[in-house]
Structure 1
Amino acid sequence: MREKTGSVMRAGLQIAGGCSGGQTAAARQGARGFAALVPAARVAYLPGMSKPAPIFNGLRLRCGHCGQGRLFSGYLKLNEACPHCGRDMRAADTADGPAFFVGFGVLILTAPFLFLIPMSPLPGLLKIGAILLLGLAITGLSLWLLPVAKAILLNLQLHHKSGQAEFDRNDA
């Protein structure tokens, strides 16, 4: 959607355009949706931010600092440092957060089917097959979303410089 200033807004990200001459390739391509932003992801900044958006780069499994280096060397094996900018990734620990969020998100999406399939008028073997297929879908969706959730949480922790909780103990 175009605003009066000539900027293009897509998925909450603003790409400068219009008369300013700072128009990116994604803005020139017109209204192609979110896919047009992916090639220009290195310059995808949220308004008012001087660094790439940590959530957007987490969705791409990239470093939240530079937006180019890969976060993982394996499925969930985190690189010790960004291969592009050298940012230390050991400073943040996502612990069980990604598994918790993915587990509950997938549960919310699939729980209605877990209740409806046994109550359906299907024959017994079809019900068993449907439940097995649903189990495979739950497993696949969880395994697909887990690295993305870990990347987003890690980028947010590093972006906001969060650390271990410390309590002041005043034994007065």
Structure 2
Amino acid sequence: MIKENGVVIKTGKAKAWVKTIKSSACAGCASHDSCEAAKEAEVEAINTIGAKTGDNVVVGFETGSLIKVSMMLYLFPVFTMIAGAVIGSKLAPVYNIDESVMSAIFAFSFFFLSFICIRLTGNLLSGNKKYQAQIIKIKKDISQSASVSCSQV
């Protein structure tokens, strides 16, 4: 499971919006200043543990789900474009059209169709909890726990 620290900025019925905080791994990276992943972002997460606005939380996302979604977003369009080019080159002699023109037309058509498929699949997967971020832990504030232990002495 991929985990990220954040602060709850807004809550809803069963959801919370969490502003993620740069992880310590980002500080050691040479390209942390220019990296999009290292910037703060808002994440909508399932809130089954009752986190409230202002709570420091840990947000988790299933690794397998992330890999599937990444493959769908990055590899599927490339594969469909290649398939379109191959189909275009096979159909070109049938219609007596230049092979490279037909390959280009089919490749770009399949490429754009892949984005429609991704959009439709994304809408279907958005309701599946397996593909959504979840708040997995509320982190206790260190300053509060230190003051409680000092006052008990």
- Report the TM range for the smaller structure's normalisation: 0.3 to 0.5
Higher Rg of the two aligned structures? 2
Q: Going by fraction, where is helix more abundant, 1 or 2?
A: 2
TM-score normalised per structure 1: 0.31
TM-score normalised per structure 2: 0.34
